[in-house]
Chain A
């Protein structure tokens, strides 16, 4: 594509540039995106509309669907909340303190990104089973983790941790020490400085981390199904119910649940973008 090709009509779509390859790369990008992502996703929408509102509503309000969605969202919310507390703590320790093994610990935080979910699932199930390494100490206390909703929370904590740490950590690194010094000279003790000066500035990053961990946890499948026990109405997650419906060749049922989950995850994506836009205006960084 030459400069001459940049006619006024094109100008409106893109700024002129001497660099070639715009048409080729953008064309390929859009084509590939359409074939791999957009058309298949549109299929879900199409199948849902085909279903009709009455059928869709019947599936969506079915007891088993509702309890599966409740289990998915409840456990994901709880796990994301735990991850916020410990994720911020871990990020703080990694950013502020120097101790032997810090670098290894920092790298280890990404383990849930790298470890296949099925492997994490069977390992967690083995650890938290009543005769497992951790489970044997919890069993006498009457706490059952594996094969209960609590087990789902444990798996989702594993999956979601890096999202919180990796969102909060870079923002924490950028905190201006002078702000803390000012707080100290104005008579704030350390706890006040942390609670009322540092943490509020981290709020958008923490919220984004929470939303990312939550969004990931809601859809998680591999690590959960081994530890959950998968009892309908108790510890059956929504993605598993989709798989069960598919195995029964009940495509409409699977599609309807998928459509609900898609709507919710796109809403989450929208919320995350809102938080980031707000953060850019209010705090000058992208959380």
Chain B
């Protein structure tokens, strides 16, 4: 085939030997959309996310400052609000470490060993995610409530669980149960057992192998899990609402306090407390994004939330 046959037909008037100007459109990629389609799709996605995600977040801050910064600060300085903040911090400070220890132990057993019933155990660990928050609270009401054996026995021994802090902690542990474990299990399965086996064969004790070999390998994934666990622990509403008893200043966590204030038509105060929780959510999202961006490889890619 001659070179002439391959060359494009020249437009009228074009000098022989120069290439005809080819518009960019002629080279439209076959594996992407036109610029107009892209713009429309991006526009729809932006509009949808703005309406669904951004607007509620903005609304929290605008409503909180509706009557000025003075009212906002006054609402936050109220003793019941401060008690709610303290209780929320206390509950998270107990629930998160419990689930952290559980998560590490479960991931060690499941990722480092091969045994029967492993898949079933993993499914059981995820169970609390598929239970409605209200039912997560209800199970403890049934367990410790007045009706059955445990309730009266505890009462006669002066131990209060329901409508008191222990109940709130238990319900919070239940709903945040899988967070750390489900983050660590795929990560440690990916990392295999080679590093630990090497450490052990070089004379390290099991504890040393965990502390000096495993922990540095999983630290970012662990932090990621703790971050999500903490956000849920501080923000949990349904489960805690069922077991708390809603005693102001005593068994009210921040989300429950928001509800009480809102139902009293004290909107500025309700939204003021909400700004703290929204700020917690924003900090969580920022840290989460930083971890994903910076240490993406060291966080299990398969468990995206």
- Of A18, A40, A124, the residue contacting B56 (CB under 8 A) is A124
Is A243 in the interface zone, CB < 8 Å from B?
A: yes
Chain A, 132-173, CB within 8 A of any chain B CB = 133-134, 157-158, 161-162, 166-167, 169-170
- Of B49, B241, B281, the residue contacting A109 (CB under 8 A) is B49
Number of A-B contacts (CB under 8 A): 298
Q: How far is the CA of A106 from the CA of B102 in the complex (A)?
A: 31
- Cβ of B274 and Cβ of A119 under 8 Å apart? yes
A81 to chain B, nearest CB (A): 14
> Residues of A contacting B241 with CB < 8 Å?
221-222, 243
- Cβ of A239 and Cβ of B134 under 8 Å apart? yes
Further contacts, 14 of them, CB under 8 A, given A21-B206, A219-B134, A226-B259: A18-B197, A25-B105, A29-B105, A94-B45, A105-B49, A108-B54, A119-B235, A122-B270, A177-B31, A190-B30, A220-B132, A239-B132, A246-B141, A269-B123
The DSSP consensus for interface residues of chain B is helix
- Cβ of A36 and Cβ of B53 under 8 Å apart? no
> Residues of A contacting B126 with CB < 8 Å?
269
A264 to chain B, nearest CB (A): 10
- Cβ of A44 and Cβ of B139 under 8 Å apart? yes
Chain A residues in the interface with B (C-beta under 8 A):
12-15, 17-22, 24-26, 28-30, 32-33, 36-41, 43-44, 47, 86, 89-90, 92-94, 96-97, 99, 103, 105-120, 122-124, 126-127, 133-134, 157-158, 161-162, 166-167, 169-170, 177, 180-181, 184-185, 190, 193, 215, 218-222, 226, 239-240, 242-243, 246, 251, 254-255, 258, 261-262, 265-266, 268-269, 273, 286
- Cβ of A222 and Cβ of B116 under 8 Å apart? no
Nearest B residue to A113, CB-CB = B305
Is B255 in the interface zone, CB < 8 Å from A?
A: yes
Nearest A residue to B231, CB-CB = A114
> Residues of A contacting B63 with CB < 8 Å?
123, 126
Q: How far is the CA of A149 from the CA of B241 in the complex (A)?
A: 23
A228 to chain B, nearest CB (A): 14
Is B221 in the interface zone, CB < 8 Å from A?
A: no
- Cβ of B277 and Cβ of A115 under 8 Å apart? yes
* Residue among B55, B59, B177, B236 having the largest count of chain A Cβ atoms under 10 Å: B59
A195 to chain B, nearest CB (A): 13
Chain B residues in the interface with A (C-beta under 8 A):
30-34, 37-38, 41-42, 44-46, 48-49, 51-57, 59-60, 63, 102, 105-106, 108-110, 112-116, 121, 123-128, 130-135, 138-143, 145, 147, 170, 173-174, 177, 193, 196-197, 200-201, 205-206, 209-210, 228, 231, 234-238, 241-242, 254-256, 258-259, 262, 267, 270-271, 274, 277-278, 280-282, 284-286, 288-289, 301-302, 304-305
- The answer to whether A28 and B105 touch (CB under 8 A), given A181-B31, A262-B131, is yes
> Residues of B contacting A222 with CB < 8 Å?
133, 237-238, 241, 255
> Residues of B contacting A120 with CB < 8 Å?
56
- Cβ of B140 and Cβ of A117 under 8 Å apart? no
> Residues of B contacting A38 with CB < 8 Å?
124
A14 to chain B, nearest CB (A): 4
